[in-house]
Amino acid sequence: MGSSAAVDHLERQIERNLAIAARIPAEGPLRASLDRLQAWQRARLQATYADLAASPRYGAACEFFLDELYGGRDVHARDRQLKRIVPVMRRFLPDHLLHATGEAMRLQAVSLEFDFELARLLQGAEAIDQPAYARAYREQGGWTERRDQIALIRSLGELLDETVRRPFVRRLVRMMRTPAEMGGVERLQRFLEHGLDSFARMQGAKRFLDTIEARESEALTAMQSGSDWPFEVWIGRGP
């Protein structure tokens, strides 16, 4: 059912994520720095978008981005399940859903790659706060790539918004629930259902995506311009 191009893209992004996971040490200073960075970033994102998270319309989508696409928890078991079941997905899922899943994996990989580099720079920091984070960002550079990351968040959101408007997509995914549980890929099933349901609940993702794009772009510009408090307008001097 899915095209070769969509499947190839999905498989490449799965392998990319698994390769990043293989580089992350199980313990030691770098792993501790990565865990600390990701915990701080989750707190920062939760504070920055607390208004959206508190909304019945947008809260589930905020949760999806934090829980399923951001590397603040172990998503690699799910990625291994995804690799195993791609041939089945190719047979039963439409091309646009396969492409959306591939783009979700691409966003996750981009975020993890940036975090891995930032974690190296922050190993010697006594604590992570906005100034330490902003200074590491400036040392890392890659401003064009960071703007591309924000654009990818936007394009993925638009793709998911378009996908949930297509007839039968969510019903088709729900029909896979029992086979997924029997096949041991229930984490993947939750990922697909969570993403589609959260975007369907919004009944239009424009305001959600406009808000993320505007705030992240403003913070990025502030850091590039030398600010040590790039998120102050939304969260004060926390988190």
Q: What pLDDT, in 10s, does the model give residues 80-130?
A: 778 888 887 888 788 888 999 899 889 989 999 999 999 999 999 999 999
Query: Has residue 10 got a pLDDT over 60?
Result: yes
Look at residue 22 in the predicted model and tell me its pLDDT: 87
| CA dist., res. 86 & res. 79, Å (int) | 11
List the single range of 99-103, 178-182, 221-225 with lowest mean pLDDT: 178-182
**Residues 80 and 152: beta-carbon distance below 8 Å:** no
Residue ranges making up the domain that contains 140: 4-235
Look at residue 176 in the predicted model and tell me its pLDDT: 78
Buried b (16+ CB within 10 A) or exposed e, 204-225: ebeebbeebeebbeebbebbbe
For residue 156, which amino acid is it?
L
| CA dist., res. 162 & res. 231, Å (int) | 31
Look at residue 74 in the predicted model and tell me its pLDDT: 60
Count CB atoms within 10 A of the CB of residue 237: 11
Query: Has residue 186 got a pLDDT over 90?
Result: no
List the single range of 56-70, 147-161, 181-195, 199-213 with lowest mean pLDDT: 181-195
Q: Which of 71, 92, 46 is nearest to 189 (CA)?
A: 92
| Residues contacting 154, CB < 8 A, separation 6+ | 209, 212, 213
How many domains does the chain divide into? Answer: 1
Look at residue 144 in the predicted model and tell me its pLDDT: 96
Proportion of the chain above pLDDT 90, given as a percent: 64
Q: What is the DSSP track for 177-237?
A: HHHHHHTT-HHHHHHHHHHHHHHHHHT--HHHHHHHHHHHHHHHHHHHTT-S-TTHHHHTT
Structure confidence at residue 183 as a pLDDT band (50, 70, 90): low
Look at residue 189 in the predicted model and tell me its pLDDT: 81
CA end-to-end span of the chain, whole Å? 46
**Residues 154 and 212: beta-carbon distance below 8 Å:** yes
User: Tokens representing 11?
Assistant: 């498989």
Region 175-192: mean pLDDT is 76
